[in-house]
Amino acid sequence: MLLEEIGSGSFGRVFRALNQKTGIQCAIKCMKKCPKFEQIIRQELHVFELLELEGPNGDENIVEFYESFSWNGNTCIVFELLCVNLYQIMSRNNFKGLPCMTVKKMSACILNSLKFLHNHQIIHCDLKPENVLMVRPGYPLVKVIDFGSSCRVGHTLYTYIQSRFYRAPEVILGMEYDTAIDIWSLGCIIMELLTGTPLFPGADEYDQMACIVEVLGLPPPSFLRKAKRLRTFFCDSGRLRHHSAGQEKASLTYPARSPLLHTMPRGLPGSLPLEVLLQHSLGGVDSDLLDFIQRCVCWVPSGRLTVIEALNHPWLRSLKSINMRRPEIVDSPEKKENTTNVSEPDGKCANSQLSPSATDPLSATIRLAVEA
């Protein structure tokens, strides 16, 4: 039985539903009848078929798949019903950033999902805060959703992938890509969770590259040799081409950054290093955190952390063991406010307008994050 619509997008709609036989609520994604979505459906179902073949025990931090069916020619996919996404959490926290320990726990969950995917040579291809959802209010346990853009290493399907703020430079430059693009996105997400604003808030694709260069400096020439779109962004001398990115195109869903941070036009290459961003946003620089982020968002994909290296990195090694599957927690007596994310490639969550009640489960989640 359908209860309410909880999201929508170009592909279709998502509903909260009730299984009347079991009494369990779920999320149903109903896809539009359109040829261009057929590949998306097949790929998403392929990932879940792989999960079933591997005999999952629920420890993969990936949204649980229940079944799929056809209704009036529309493919419908049934998932477990999750809570709010990470963008919504940051929004309700006024984009102030979350405590480091909370971010560590969430990062470990995301890495756990990538561990399964990368072990099977699957690239998520659209990792972002909107695609990482809380399992339940009051505990920093998260799961990854939306595998419609996923592909296998060596069998990439699209050249235009990843949401802009989290798009790896090799994708922007039209180069071959692999699982390292997910690590780039993870580094961007971690910085955003900690600081409250995107690490690379490009207004368009040209400005996105300018943001990256502003923080990381110019890419090594050896990296650019295989770039199909090299001259779109760089001059023959290796300098960045300048394109005017209208301020009106910039994301309006985040508060303006400090004048000390990203401004338009962008600064010189390397003029806004990660150390400065961390110092300004967090009031200090954790050397382990800095090293972790630097090894996630470096130009050369082969130089980025692997999932195993990330899980064993000193920044996460200090994290006490947490149950990534079933947190022992007492349910909130208030009505749960569940939502499943649906978003456009460069957009924000379509279902992010939540009531401001101070006693709702989302507010409890924010309090946990702020007080962690």
pLDDT in tens, 183-229: 999 999 999 999 999 999 999 999 999 999 999 999 999 999 999 99
Helix (H, G, I), strand (E, B) or coil at 145: coil
Q: Which two tokens stand for residue 188?
A: 């961007």
Which residue ranges make up each domain of the chain? 2-80, 84-241+259-321
User: Which H or E run includes 38?
Assistant: helix 35-53
> Which residues of the chain form beta strands (DSSP E)?
2-9, 12-18, 25-31, 65-71, 74-80, 122-123, 132-134, 142-144, 151-152
pLDDT score, position 344 = 34
pLDDT score, position 200 = 98
Residues of the chain with confidence (pLDDT) below 70:
55-58, 243-263, 320-372
Q: Cβ neighbours of residue 278 under 8 Å, at least 6 residues apart?
A: 194, 195, 284, 285, 286, 289, 290, 293
Spatial contact of 204 and 101, defined as CB atoms under 8 Å apart: no
pLDDT score, position 156 = 85
> Would the pTM count as exceeding 0.85?
no
Q: What residues pair up with 74 in beta bridges, in sequence order?
A: 71
pLDDT tens string 271-311: 999 999 999 999 999 999 999 999 999 999 999 999 999 99
d(CA 152, CA 178): 8
pLDDT score, position 306 = 99
Binding-site entries for ATP: 29
Spatial contact of 261 and 205, defined as CB atoms under 8 Å apart: no
Q: Cβ neighbours of residue 139 under 8 Å, at least 6 residues apart?
A: 327, 329, 368
With b for 16 or more beta-carbon neighbours within 10 A and e for fewer, the 161-184 pattern comes to bbbbbbbbbbbbbbbebbbbbbbb
CATH of 2-80, one of 1.10.10.60, 3.30.2310.20, 3.60.15.10, 3.30.200.20: 3.30.200.20
Please identify which of the residues 126, 182, 207, 360 carries the catalytic annotation: 126
pLDDT score, position 341 = 39
In CATH terms, the superfamily for domain 84-241+259-321 is Transferase(Phosphotransferase) domain 1 (1.10.510.10)
Where residue 121 falls (left for φ over 0; alpha for ψ -120 to 50; beta otherwise) is left
126 catalytic per annotation? yes
pLDDT score, position 73 = 83
- Rounded to a whole number of angstroms, the distance between the first and last alpha carbons of the chain is 38
Alpha carbon distances (Å) from 122 to 17, 70, 156, 203: 30, 26, 10, 29
